[in-house]
């Protein structure tokens, strides 16, 4: 926790991919709940919009960071701890979508561009959070990985995104087990069709397993932000290992 001039103490979190979509919604919800939050993202401008808001009274820190760069991750996480004193939460959220077109036409760089962010970046952030949380006093904390419904069931033409999100579930399970020794709780949120840049095309129509195009319902990202904040609010002796939140009428149950 970090203590402010007025004597108020708040828990400290890092949110990656915090400039837009789910990351931004989660960061805002946590800040409104009294957390101090370091907002990480590639573009600094949208992060500063949140960090400079007077309502958060200096509890938000904007840091430009490419999570696929392990050195940049370490530097940004260390800057957050230097500012706020410790780390109680990582919302491991940064991710990118699938390259366009069928995968047999992709270049190796297109494949790696997804793996570098969605898997390697997720690991680098989780690794640094473990290092900090296991060595601070009092030790421990919580990590919430952003999985996706594609961590369970693929969409057509989504092999890079789906493969990395399946891998995130493996990271979650292993880190949840390994975190027990350090009082680190690790869970995963799997989101179906929240309004974001990655999911905006759902409303216009996306390929289904039967080859048809169909529009799909979406939910507000603020709803997802509240779910992240709920998971973050739990005591460390309780953990939501996997949490699915989705548009009620989306074609996930029974997909395929």
Catalytic residue among 36, 165, 196, 227: 165
Total-model pTM: 0.91
The answer to whether residue 182 is catalytic is no
**Rounded distance between C-alpha atoms, residue 104 and residue 125, angstroms:** 30
Catalytic residue among 36, 68, 76, 148: 148
Helix ranges restricted to H, the chain: 21-32, 44-51, 70-84, 108-115, 122-135, 159-178, 221-233
Catalytic residue among 161, 176, 196, 227: 161
Place of tokens 């970090």: 2
**Rounded distance between C-alpha atoms, residue 178 and residue 181, angstroms:** 6
Domains located in the chain, CATH noted: 2-246 (3.40.50.720)
Nearest one of 155, 146, 241 to 191, comparing CA atoms: 146
**Rounded distance between C-alpha atoms, residue 28 and residue 233, angstroms:** 15
Please state the length of the chain: 256
The answer to whether residue 165 is catalytic is yes
Nearest one of 125, 145, 134 to 63, comparing CA atoms: 125
DSSP 8-state class, residue 219:
B
pLDDT digit of tens for each residue in the chain (256 aa)?
A: 555 443 346 899 999 999 999 999 999 999 999 999 999 999 999 999 999 988 999 999 999 999 999 999 999 999 999 999 999 999 999 999 999 899 999 999 999 999 999 999 999 999 999 999 999 999 999 999 999 999 998 888 899 999 999 999 999 999 999 999 999 999 999 998 887 766 667 767 777 777 788 778 789 999 999 999 999 999 999 999 999 999 998 888 765 5
């Amino acid at each position: 926790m970090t203590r402010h001039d007025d004597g108020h103490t708040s828990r400290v979190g890092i949110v990656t991919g915090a400039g837009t979509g789910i990351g931004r919604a989660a960061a805002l919800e946590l800040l409104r709940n009294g957390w101090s939050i370091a907002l990480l993202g590639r573009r600094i401008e949208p992060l500063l919009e949140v960090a400079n808001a007077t309502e958060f009274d200096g509890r938000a820190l904007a840091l430009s960071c490419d999570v696929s760069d392990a050195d940049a991750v370490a530097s940004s996480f260390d800057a957050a701890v230097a500012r706020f004193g410790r780390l109680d939460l990582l919302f491991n959220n940064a991710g990118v979508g699938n390259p366009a077109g069928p995968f047999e036409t992709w270049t190796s760089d297109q494949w790696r561009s997804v793996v570098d962010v969605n898997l390697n970046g997720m690991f680098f952030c989780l690794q640094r959070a473990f290092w900090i949380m296991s060595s601070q006093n009092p030790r421990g904390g919580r990590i919430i990985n952003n999985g996706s419904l594609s961590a369970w069931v693929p969409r057509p033409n989504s092999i890079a995104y789906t493969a990395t999100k399946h891998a995130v579930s493996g990271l979650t399970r292993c880190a949840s087990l390994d975190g027990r020794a350090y009082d680190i709780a690790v869970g995963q949120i799997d989101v179906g069709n929240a309004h974001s840049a990655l999911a905006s095309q759902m409303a216009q129509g996306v390929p289904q397993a039967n080859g048809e195009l169909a529009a799909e319902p979406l939910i507000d990202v603020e709803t997802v932000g509240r779910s992240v904040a709920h998971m973050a609010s739990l005591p460390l002796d309780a953990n939501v290992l996997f949490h699915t939140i989705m548009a009620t009428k989306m074609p996930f149950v029974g997909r395929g």
